[in-house]
């Protein structure tokens, strides 16, 4: 099986390396030449362009920022659709609008190509470890066939329904993560303002009901003032924008999501869009004029 991957960003590059470690024949493409060279040095091959990926590969993967990029790469002029072979499979690991997933799947179906939408959760650390969580939409038989490939990059690979269900699940994940980071930031600012050491609060509550994977990952970053991106605020804004759009379409109320979206929008306007989403804490620090857990 020849695998093609388009997108070698913060997530895509380590995911490519994990596929290579598992012994897959992998061809990659990205605008970042340094990222391509790094993957080629690990045993991958470089594609000349998108059409070359379509012509050469049995399964094509994408790990791209949003719906427009996936549509352009797959369906645009010079895109994969121009050369992809009947019987090939497309797996989109990007986090995009579920309606866009359905649109892309319908276009590819006319070429005899099946699709899975398989967005991930876990950020850069889990991408490096190969312990991401995959949320997958598509035919059950197709999912079972390609689950082992996804499992080279993830510790959890779960089918959530038909095409688009993976990205709907990812939107739920992103809503929960964003609100969790905001709640953590708000609570730990309360501790700071009340004169209680946030680091001790963290030790006291992380093993109880308030504890979470988000708290364990993000509170140490907040306390250290380390907002180097594992997952950028700009990308989380994209996900919440998609979540709000879907919510409006299906009639699901998302008032807390809308509130956190406004926090993130302010942070982006302040130049923090490339910060890790743990920088939601900066919103509270801006309101109070003090930092959480540090001078």
Q: Write out the catalytic residue numbers.
A: 170
In angstroms, the CA 195 to CA 139 distance is 54
- Ramachandran class of 93: left when φ > 0, alpha when ψ lies in -120 to 50, beta otherwise: alpha
Residue 48's CB is within 10 A of a number of other CB atoms, namely 11
In angstroms, the CA 29 to CA 32 distance is 9
Q: Provide the β-strand partners of residue 116.
A: 91
Q: Which two tokens stand for residue 64?
A: 């791209």
Do residues 84 and 54 make contact, with C-beta atoms less than 8 angstroms apart?
yes
Do residues 185 and 279 make contact, with C-beta atoms less than 8 angstroms apart?
no
List C-alpha distances in Å: 200 to 187, 210, 223, 289, 290. 13, 14, 11, 22, 18
Residue 26's CB is within 10 A of a number of other CB atoms, namely 22
Residue that has been written with the tokens 């989109």 in this structure: 92
DSSP for 171-196 reads: HHHHHHHHHHHHHHHHHHHHHHHTT-
Residue 238's CB is within 10 A of a number of other CB atoms, namely 18
In angstroms, the CA 158 to CA 173 distance is 13
């Amino acid at each position: 099986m020849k695998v093609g991957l388009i997108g070698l960003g913060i997530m895509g590059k380590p995911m490519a390396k994990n596929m290579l470690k598992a012994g897959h024949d992998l061809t990659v493409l990205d605008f970042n030449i340094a990222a391509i060279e790094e993957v080629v040095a690990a045993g991958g091959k470089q594609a000349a362009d998108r059409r070359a990926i379509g012509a050469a590969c049995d399964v094509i993967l994408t790990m791209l920022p949003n719906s427009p990029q996936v549509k352009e790469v797959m369906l645009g002029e010079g895109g994969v659709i121009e050369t992809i072979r009947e019987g090939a499979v497309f797996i989109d690991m990007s986090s995009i609008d579920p309606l866009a997933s359905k649109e892309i799947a319908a276009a590819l179906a006319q070429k005899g190509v099946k699709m899975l939408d398989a967005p991930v959760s876990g950020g850069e650390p889990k991408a490096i470890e190969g312990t991401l969580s995959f949320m997958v939409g598509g035919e059950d038989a197709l999912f079972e066939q390609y689950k082992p490939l996804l499992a080279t990059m993830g510790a959890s690979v779960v089918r959530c329904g038909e095409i688009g269900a993976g990205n709907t699940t990812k939107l739920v994940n992103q809503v929960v993560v964003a609100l969790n980071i905001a709640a953590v930031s708000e609570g730990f600012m309360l501790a700071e303002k009340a004169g209680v050491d946030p680091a001790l609060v963290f030790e006291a509550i992380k093993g109880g009901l308030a504890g979470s994977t988000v708290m364990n990952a993000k509170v140490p970053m907040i306390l250290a003032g380390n907002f180097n991106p594992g997952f950028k605020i700009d990308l989380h804004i994209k996900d919440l924008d998609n979540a709000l759009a879907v919510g409006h379409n299906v009639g699901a109320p998302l008032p807390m999501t809308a509130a956190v979206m406004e926090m993130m929008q302010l942070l982006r306007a302040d130049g923090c869009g490339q910060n890790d989403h743990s920088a939601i804490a900066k919103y509270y620090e801006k309101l109070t004029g003090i930092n959480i857990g540090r001078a």
